[in-house]
Amino acid sequence: GLKYERFIKKKYSVGAYVDWYYKGRQLFGSEEYTGFKCTPTFRYFFIHHRAMGFYAQASAIVGYFDFSKLNYEYDTQRSTTDEISITYNFWSGGAHVAIGGYFADKEGKNACLDVSIGLQIFTEQYPSEKEANNKTYTHNSGWWYLGGPGSIFEFKLSLCGIF
């Protein structure tokens, strides 16, 4: 992803993250997707020096995802499951709050490390059930919220260049 940030006052900044997902895959499965998330941000700095800063952040989120393989399962009550895959795309929106800090070189002129941890609400917009072959197949969206683009807990580690 890419990040842009601009200070509007000594303790306030605005910016945006843009994250791309190219050939994304769920952590423990075979679903495949591409997409992006755009996250405009507002930061309030508790401490702000040239070489470091600690902040609280509030953000909006908008994203688009195109699943080339979205899996649904039908539990046969035996040791096997019946599975179907579909293609599906959607737009989604949400919100994010975080706390973090950045640490730059001595003069704060060349590079920095930005670390934040936060909570986000960014829901998937695909159907939870799919009808096919006279059966109701269900989708397990747990991976979306635990390790996918909609993770409830989000940790960001960014290497930054200062221009």
Q: 102, 126, 15, 24: which is closest to 60 by C-alpha?
A: 15
Is the pLDDT confidence value at 41 over 90?
A: yes
CA distance 113 to 23: 27
More confident residue, 135 or 24: 135
Are 91 and 35 in contact by the 8 Å Cβ rule? The answer is no
The predicted pLDDT at position 140 comes to 85
Mean pLDDT of 29-45: 91
Where residue 38 falls among pLDDT bands split at 50, 70, 90? very high
Instruction: Give the tens place of pLDDT for each residue, 92-135.
Output: 999 999 999 988 887 656 788 899 999 999 999 999 999 998 98
pTM here is 0.83
Nearest CA to 67 out of 31, 22, 36, 27 is that of: 31
Model confidence pLDDT, tens digit, residues 45-56: 999 887 789 999
